[in-house]
Amino acid sequence: MKITAAKVIVTCPGRNFVTLKIETDQGVCGIGDATLNGRELAVVAYLEAHVIPTLIGRDPRQIEDIWQFGYRGAYWRRGPVTLSAIAAVDTALWDIKAKMAGMPLYDLLGGRSRDGVMVYGHANGADLAETVDEVGRYIDLGYKAIRAQSGIPGLRDAYGVGRGKLFYEPADAGLPTETIWDTRKYLNFTPKLFEALRAAYGFDHHLLHDAHHRLTPIEAAGLGKALEPFQLFWLEDATPAENQEAFKLIRAHTTTPLAVGEVFNTIWDCKDLIQNQLIDYIRCTVVRAGGVTHLRRIADLAALYQVRTGCHGATDLSPVTMGAALHFDTWVPNFGIQEYMRHTPETDAVFPHAYTFADGYLHPGEAAGHGVDIDEALAAKYPYRPAQLPVARLEDGTMWNW
Ligand code: KDG
Ligand code: MG
């Protein structure tokens, strides 16, 4: 069996997505997501100039060797561009292998470990009252777990607060939008939000929150402690994780569970946090961390330390990543939760998929492969539009973490 062709499809049905399609001499095709939010064209160039030429003529069944070739063969290891490109190839190859076997991908990975994949949705509001209402809306939709983000009194912008309901899209301008951040205002407000949520809805639902890298370790420790009475499922990205030692300080002060890893690319980024039991959930997903092949390695390492998975699932991960992640989630023994930010109807039309939502769970479907396709004719109607993520500055103008 041979790979005969591969091409990159860029489409913008409301936001940019990069998809790799691999064709074979058996007539079976596979697709993989290569979207890197705000840096999409870097991965397109990487795939077209450096990866696709090495794939032609290869046996697509050799997923492991092709992964190692992409990783070791680049010499320049790691990094989001390289690993997103490797992930796209890997996801497409798993898709092909599962289609050839006539199996849904989760079956090929080792079979079903659960009946459904518990997901968390995103509730956000301009202020506390609106956020409380939004959480209620997700409860009414059947969600068992909800992430709550709110506008903060005295601050013009806050991470996670969208302009519309149900959909959230931060990459909104050709050049980065500048937002203003104030940690004091955030820390004063956030415990009040979760107090109001528990008062309104009780303790039966899982509540989550994303600090989005805004805090120093000691500030994060304080927030974790202040949130303990409200029993969060997790506090995410409490502080940037380049220095993984920083999490020791947070851990020493709070029992609020911690989640990290949506910006990680490899097992090496996760290793110290996992081995030192500094986190409870690892947030890597298929497209950002080298595809199913590498994500499995991360999950296996995590399992040794009772760290569970919590795959990133924002709208900038395409339905292809969502489909592949759902097969992974259905199999992985140490599953925790899956993030589910809904795509717009335009995006769902470009990427017809087998996965479905019911009662707070996503189901990957029984189609052979990962169950997601791309309608190329429709995709061609939505040309690429430059869009970048915002940046954050403190009130005095100092650059901060967005
Ligand atoms: O592209 C950046 C988004 O994926 C990120 O801001 C979303 O933090 C995020 C999350 O938890 O979904
Ligand atoms: Mg996040």
pLDDT, tens only, 78-87 = 999 999 999 9
Structural domain contains residue 390: no
Q: Which is catalytic among the residues 212, 213, 294, 370?
A: 212
Domain boundary among 88, 104, 120: 104
* pLDDT tier for residue 156 given thresholds of 50, 70 and 90: confident
Q: Is the beta carbon of 269 within 6 A of some atom in ligand 1?
A: no
Mean pLDDT of 43-69: 98
CA–CA dist 9, 383 (Å, integer): 10
Q: What is the DSSP letter of 307?
A: -
Are residues 318 and 287 part of one domain?
yes
Are residues 156 and 66 part of one domain?
no
Domain boundary among 70, 104, 138: 104
Structural domain contains residue 377: no
Give the Å distances, CA to CA, from 330 to 6, 61, 327, 367: 29, 22, 5, 14
Are residues 166 and 29 part of one domain?
no
User: Rounded to two decimals, what is the model's pTM?
Assistant: 0.97
Which residue's CA lies nearest to atom 5 of ligand 1?
Answer: 314
- Decide if pLDDT at 164 tops 70: no
Structural domain contains residue 208: yes
Number of domains in the chain: 2
CA–CA dist 48, 114 (Å, integer): 38
Q: For residue 24, what are its two tokens?
A: 């074979």
Average pLDDT, the chain: 97
The answer for residues whose C-beta is within 8 angstroms of residue 389's C-beta and 6 or more apart is 37, 38, 170, 171, 176, 402
Task: Please give the pLDDT value at position 160.
Answer: 86
Are residues 132 and 217 part of one domain?
yes
Q: Which is catalytic among the residues 138, 159, 186, 340?
A: 159
Are residues 357 and 209 part of one domain?
yes
Residue 353: active-site member: no
Domain boundary among 75, 104, 133: 104
The answer to whether 259 and 236 have CB atoms below 8 angstroms apart is yes
Q: What percent of the chain has pLDDT over 70?
A: 99
- Name which of 140-154, 162-176, 193-207 the model is least confident about: 162-176
Are residues 220 and 96 part of one domain?
no
Q: Is the beta carbon of 40 within 6 A of some atom in ligand 1?
A: no
- Name which of 55-64, 142-151, 167-176, 357-366 the model is least confident about: 167-176
Are residues 144 and 224 part of one domain?
yes
Are residues 192 and 90 part of one domain?
no
Reduced to 3 states, what is the DSSP secondary structure of residue 346? helix
Are residues 115 and 78 part of one domain?
no
Q: Is the beta carbon of 170 within 6 A of some atom in ligand 1?
A: yes
CA–CA dist 333, 120 (Å, integer): 19
Structural domain contains residue 73: yes
CB atoms within 10 A of CB 56: 13
CA–CA dist 111, 128 (Å, integer): 43
Are residues 77 and 133 part of one domain?
no
Strand-pairing partners, residue 19, are 9, 33
CATH number, domain of 8, equals 3.30.390.10
Q: Is the beta carbon of 263 within 6 A of some atom in ligand 1?
A: no
Phi, psi of 199, rounded to the nearest 5 degrees: -65, -35
Mean pLDDT of 192-209: 98
Are residues 302 and 328 part of one domain?
yes
Give the Å distances, CA to CA, from 165 to 131, 318, 337, 357: 11, 19, 22, 18
Are residues 140 and 35 part of one domain?
no
Structural domain contains residue 383: no
* Pocket mutation for ligand 1, best pick of 236, 262, 288 (most atoms within 8 Å of C-beta): 262
CATH number, domain of 327, equals 3.20.20.120
Which residue's CA lies nearest to atom 12 of ligand 1?
Answer: 314
Residue list, CB under 5 A from ion ligand 2: 210, 262
Which residue range is the domain that position 74 belongs to?
3-104
- Name which of 130-134, 167-171, 262-266 the model is least confident about: 167-171
